[in-house]
Each structure stands twice: as structure tokens, then as C-alpha cells.
């Protein structure tokens, strides 16, 4: 730890370093909270630079914790200015985790809110007022049940009209699909004295949705069409999420602006939870899709390596999907893959017939300049093993893609860093 090596004595000059250098030192060690706490005691400059990492996000799980944070925030303007993300993650063992939301001062620095509640979210004046205190929200991640579609719209409306990123997780559902809400009637009296939050997704640029158990077709009709994003640039669909007809409508609606599409080949629910081990369940594909003239990056995955997950079937699905898509201006094609051990990756590189895959790209996607394999390792394989696997990739049939200005890249991520 760097902080343990620094000397904080009277002869130390660390407390008088220029702000730019202090910020770089803290940035490079921002993952270690003990270091950050040590930095905050050096001087006022070090403290202020540390706070933006120490209090980048705050999480509350119950009423007591929220009130504790509320007291801290009221006594420190520096903390208020440092917070960028607010997380609401109520404890699943609490029967009534948050009976009411206390009033807090406005926090314009918060741009990201995560609302993950195992209990239904009730739209109340205190909730709307609470959300309005984050007047500059840009990103909303949501996993909760609502009484109806109108209640969900009210929640998003209270988050403001500047949302550019919306992430809907598995837990998002509406008990009723009706848009005539009892909640609306109950809040009418309150709204006469205060402006009612207007549901507005017109500035949405990035939309991500994940469903392993249910279709989210209603999201297209009740959210996206109800407040049409004018410049949706990226769309991420994990697991199946949408039925084939709705997927076609979604892509057709935003084909003029969509520059990055991420699509998961696997229907996780049917594969893992149904108990069928004889075959992997793959996303159904339409016979054709609207042209995606604005698309520059296409990401397909997650493709699980290992015989149990039948990566050959998933890779065949990738080829089928590339036949369906029409993206004449595609520049980057990414395959997101997962390997629990190096042998799984070696087996796929050696056993799968990559020749038709490369030929398909060269025939149909002549504008593609980068073919990228993103490999998520369960645990870090180590530098030597990664180097060996990269060499195997460049010696495999995939190497026929590279050359004449085109690149074949391997990039790594770690699921469980040690």
C-alpha cells in the first residue's frame, strides 16, 4: 500500500504537493479505502481530493442507515459535493426496510442512482420529493416491482428529464399493465401545490435490459413509445428479454440512430433453470431485420466456453445472426466469451471451424476493421497463460481475418479478481 510507505511526519513535503499531482496519486490508489482514509489526514488539499473517491457512492439499506447518511451530508458540504452515485439496496430480511424517506438537502452532484428493492416501490409524495433532490441524474438502474405502468413512469419522471442511460434489471415488473393508476388519483391533491414530474425519456442514449424469466415486450410499448428517445445510440439486450416480433420493432424504430448493439445469444432461463442439460437454449432469430446504417459496433455474447455450455452451438448462432443483420457500415465486431480455465479456450480455438465465420465477415461486412475477442476469466489465468492464449488466437483460423489494415485483438477481464 502506497499510504503505508509515505511518511506523514513534520519534515514531509507531501502535504504541499500541487493539487494535480495529489489527484493523480490518489487516483492510482483509489481502490484501497485504507489508503484513501490515510490520505484524507495529510492536509486540506489531500482531504478534499480523497473525498471524491471515499464518498463517490453511498449505499443505504434501511431507514436508520439513510438517516445516518443524512446527518453526515448536512454537516459536510465537501461530502455532498463528492457523492456521484446513490444506491438503494434494502436488506431482503427487513420486513419494512424504508417506511418513509426523510427529506434531504439537494445533491446536484449525484448523476447515478441504483434502486434495487425486493419489496414493491410505492409512489408517495416523500419518494417523489426524495428523488427530486437529485436534480442532475443521468443514469438510472432499476430493479423493483411497481403497482402499474403509471407508477413506474412517475418514478422515472421524478428522476428528471435528463436521463441518458436507463438500465432495467430482472426485478422490474408491474402488477398491472393499466396506465390508469390509483396512485395518480391519490397524488392529485398533492400535485396541485407542486409541479408533477413528467415522464420524459427523450434524451435517452443508452438502454440496457436484462430478463431471465419474463419477456419485457411491454417496456417497448409503455415506456419507449410513450416517450420516444430521439437519439438512442446503444442498446444492450441480455438473455432473451424481448420476443422476436418486439425485437424487430425495437430495432426498426431506432435503426437510424443505433450505433452500438449488444445481443446475448443465450436464453439463460431455459438453459439453466429448466434442467435441460442435453442442449443449450439459444435466442430465436427473425428471418430478417431492418438495415442498421448507423451501426458501428456489434457485440455478441456472452458465449460460455466449456463443453457443458456447447460453445459450438452458440458460435453457430453468431453466424446465423450475422446473416440476419444488415449493417453496411459496421466497423467493430466483438465476441464476449467466458472461460473458467485456459483449456476451455484452447478447445474452442482448435475444435471449432472458424473458416466459414471469417468468410462470412469478409463477404458481408467488408467495412469491419476490428474483430475483438473479449475473454472474461473466472480467475486470472496469469500473464504467461494469457500470452500463450493470445498466440493461439493469432495462429488459429481466425488469423485469416487480420491483415490489410484489419486487426484481430484479444482483450481480458476478470470475474473474480484476487
Q: What is the pLDDT of residue 278?
A: 44
DSSP code, position 145: E
Q: What is the mean pLDDT of residues 72-80?
A: 79
For residues 74 and 112, the model is more confident at 112
Supply 187's cell numbers: 397524488
* Closest-CA residue to 234 (of 204, 206, 262, 264): 206
Q: Write out the three cell numbers for 179.
A: 396506465
The mean pLDDT of the chain is 85
Pick the residue with more confidence: 31 or 311?
Answer: 311
Please count the residues of the chain: 418
Q: What is the pLDDT of residue 75?
A: 78
**Spatial separation of the C-alpha atoms in residues 335 and 77, rounded to whole Å:** 45
Residue 19 vs residue 410, higher pLDDT = 410
Average pLDDT rounded to a whole number, residues 350-377: 97
**Which pLDDT score is estimated for 77?**
78
Over 90: is that where the pLDDT of 96 sits?
A: no
pLDDT at 9: 43
* pLDDT surpassing 60 at residue 8: no
Q: In whole angstroms, what separates CA 19 from the centre of its chain? A: 32
**pLDDT at residue 71 above 70?**
yes
Which stretch, 35-44, 50-59, 82-91, has highest mean pLDDT?
Answer: 82-91
From CA 134, how far away is CA 157, in angstroms rounded?
A: 12
Which of 17-31, 64-78, 79-93, 402-416 bottoms out in mean pLDDT, i.e. has the lowest? 17-31
What was the pLDDT predicted at 94?
A: 60
* Other Cβ atoms closer than 10 A to 255: 17
**Which range has highest mean pLDDT (4-18, 209-223, 300-314, 381-395)?**
381-395
CA distance 401 to 102: 59
Rounded Cα distance, 89 and 116, in Å: 5
Residue with more model confidence, 291 or 37: 291
Q: How many CA atoms lie within 13 A of 246 on its CB side?
A: 15
Query: Strand, helix or coil at 180?
Result: coil
More confident residue, 89 or 305: 305
Highest mean pLDDT pick, 28-42, 67-81, 154-168:
154-168
Asked whether the CA dihedral 349, 354, 357, 358 is positive or negative, the reply is: positive
Q: Is the pLDDT confidence value at 357 over 50? A: yes
- Determine the pLDDT at residue 64: 77
The pLDDT tens digits for 163-204 are 999 999 988 999 887 655 566 666 665 555 566 678 999 999
Amino acid at each position: 500500500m502506497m499510504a503505508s510507505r509515505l511518511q506523514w511526519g513534520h519534515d514531509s513535503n507531501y502535504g504541499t504537493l500541487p493539487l494535480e499531482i495529489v489527484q493523480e496519486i490518489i487516483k492510482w490508489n483509489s481502490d484501497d479505502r485504507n489508503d484513501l482514509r490515510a490520505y484524507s489526514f495529510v492536509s486540506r488539499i489531500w482531504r478534499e481530493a480523497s473525498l471524491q473517491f471515499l464518498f463517490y457512492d453511498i449505499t443505504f439499506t434501511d431507514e436508520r442507515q439513510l438517516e445516518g447518511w443524512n446527518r453526515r451530508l448536512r454537516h459536510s458540504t465537501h461530502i455532498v459535493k463528492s457523492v456521484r452515485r446513490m444506491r438503494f439496496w434494502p436488506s431482503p430480511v427487513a420486513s419494512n426496510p424504508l417506511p418513509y424517506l426523510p427529506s434531504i438537502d439537494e445533491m446536484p452532484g449525484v448523476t447515478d442512482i441504483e434502486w434495487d428493492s425486493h419489496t414493491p416501490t410505492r409512489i408517495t409524495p416523500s419518494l417523489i420529493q426524495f428523488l427530486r433532490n437529485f436534480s442532475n441524474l443521468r443514469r438510472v438502474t432499476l430493479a423493483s416491482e411497481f403497482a402499474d405502468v403509471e407508477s413506474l413512469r412517475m418514478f422515472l419522471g421524478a428522476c428528471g428529464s435528463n436521463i441518458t442511460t436507463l438500465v432495467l434489471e430482472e426485478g422490474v415488473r408491474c402488477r398491472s399493465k393499466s396506465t390508469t393508476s390509483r396512485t395518480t388519483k391519490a397524488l392529485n391533491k398533492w400535485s396541485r401545490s407542486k409541479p408533477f414530474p413528467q415522464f420524459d425519456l427523450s434524451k435517452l442514449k443508452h438502454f440496457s435490459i436484462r430478463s431471465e424469466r419474463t419477456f419485457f415486450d411491454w417496456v417497448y410499448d409503455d415506456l419507449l413509445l410513450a416517450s420516444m428517445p430521439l437519439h438512442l445510440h446503444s442498446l444492450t439486450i441480455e438473455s432473451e428479454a424481448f420476443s422476436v416480433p418486439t425485437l424487430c420493432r425495437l430495432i426498426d424504430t431506432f435503426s437510424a440512430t443505433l450505433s452500438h448493439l449488444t445481443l446475448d445469444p443465450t436464453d439463460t432461463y431455459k438453459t439453466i433453470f429448466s434442467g435441460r442439460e442435453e442442449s443449450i437454449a439459444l435466442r430465436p432469430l427473425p428471418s430478417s431485420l431492418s438495415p442498421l446504417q448507423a451501426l458501428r459496433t456489434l457485440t455478441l455474447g456472452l458465449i460460455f466456453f466449456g463443453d457443458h455450455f456447447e460453445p459450438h452451438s452458440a458460435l453457430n448462432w453468431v453466424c446465423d445472426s450475422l446473416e440476419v443483420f444488415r449493417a453496411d457500415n459496421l466497423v467493430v465486431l466483438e465476441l464476449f466469451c467466458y472461460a473458467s480455465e485456459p483449456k476451455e479456450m484452447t478447445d474452442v480455438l482448435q475444435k471449432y471451424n472458424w473458416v466459414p465465420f471469417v468468410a462470412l465477415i469478409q463477404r458481408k461486412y467488408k467495412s469491419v476493421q476490428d474483430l475483438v475477442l473479449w475473454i472474461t476469466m473466472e480467475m486470472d489465468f496469469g500473464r504467461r497463460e494469457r500470452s500463450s492464449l493470445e498466440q493461439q488466437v493469432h495462429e488459429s483460423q481466425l488469423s485469416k481475418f487480420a491483415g490489410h489494415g484489419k486487426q484481430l485483438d484479444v482483450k481480458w477481464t476478470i470475474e473474480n479478481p484476487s
